[in-house]
Structure 1
Amino acid sequence: MLDELDRRILEILAGNSRVSLKELAQEAGLSSPSAAERLRKLEERGVLDGFTISVNPARLGYPLQAIVRIRPMPGMLHIVERLIQETPEFIECDKVTGDDCFIAKMLVRDMAELDTILDRIAEKAQTNTSIVKSSPVKRRLPPLN
């Protein structure tokens, strides 16, 4: 389980994963060695499984985000899964229960690129696509208590 200091460290890192160890220690009310030890233990326990960056897709030339629900045709599940994995425009994908097998997030430059990618999948799966207008909730930590 997490104690209050672990929660505080995770909150600080969620706000800025590039924070220096010295700043992290200060904000958490710890010494630098204590903060380093806490981080090491969080990593060993698998609570922290990496540090990442956040980029603005539009600034990289990908102004459109799409959510695609994908239902493979009979016998095509593994082929469709591999196709999703091999298509770099799919930046995230979850295998789910229910009518659809996959819910994926894509970044594309324009509608023509979206159509081209979806056309490759259409022979092997049904798709239902929604364009993301905005993201009122960005990726965040779950409640830590």
Structure 2
Amino acid sequence: MGIPNAALELDAIDQRMLEALARNARSSLKELAEVAGLSSPSAAERLRRLEERGVIAAFTVDIALEAIGYPLQAIVRIRPLPGQLHVVERIIQETPEFIECDKVTGDDCFIGRLVVRSMGELDGILDKIAERAETNTSMVKATPVKRRLPPLSR
């Protein structure tokens, strides 16, 4: 993890570099240096410091799920039955179709995002959980806001 106040320490150069990387995590050092108004070695040093501080946790790829055969996504709220919390958590972790899951407060314990090839596949996955938890499923029609950076300046 990074320093809790790391966001407070982001200057305009750090912000420009992070925004450029959010648009394209494969940006070259030369491109980052141009965006930041720095030399390539200076941009490399800034990037290294952002990683060391935990501001940058990973460089990722955004995959078009439909292109690899997953046309359907579902958001599933999961409420484990008494005594089943850890078992349900393990089932979620071991089910690769869960591409994201948060443990939350409130009536539900987990909110997960699933990708599936068909409604039948979704039913099969939910059936594995149904013996140990109540679920409430919503199909994703569109994603008007994809994962993005939070505001970097105050």
TM category, shorter: over 0.9
Deviation at 1:27, TM superposition (A): 1.6
- TM-score normalized with structure 2 length: 0.93
State which of 65, 68, 73 in structure 2 corresponds to 1:57: 65
Does 2:42 correspond to 1:46?
no
Deviation at 1:69, TM superposition (A): 0.1
Deviations 1:38-80 (A, max 9, x none): 0000000000011000001111100000000000000000000
Percent of aligned pairs with the same amino acid: 72
Moved more, 21-30 or 65-74: 21-30
- TM-score normalized with structure 1 length: 0.99
Does 2:78 correspond to 1:70?
yes
Q: Secondary structure at the match of 1:120?
A: helix
- Give the aligned partner of residue 12 of structure 1: 20
Deviation at 1:28, TM superposition (A): 1.3
Does 2:145 correspond to 1:140?
no
Deviation at 1:96, TM superposition (A): 0.1
Q: Secondary structure at the match of 1:135?
A: coil
AA partner of residue 99 (structure 2): I
AA partner of residue 36 (structure 2): A
- Give the aligned partner of residue 34 of structure 1: 42
Does 2:30 correspond to 1:22?
yes
Does 2:126 correspond to 1:118?
yes
Structure 1 vs Structure 2 CA RMSD? 0.4
Does 2:79 correspond to 1:92?
no
AA partner of residue 127 (structure 1): T
Deviation at 1:86, TM superposition (A): 0.1
Structure 2 CA distance for aligned equivalents of residues 74 and 35 of structure 1: 52
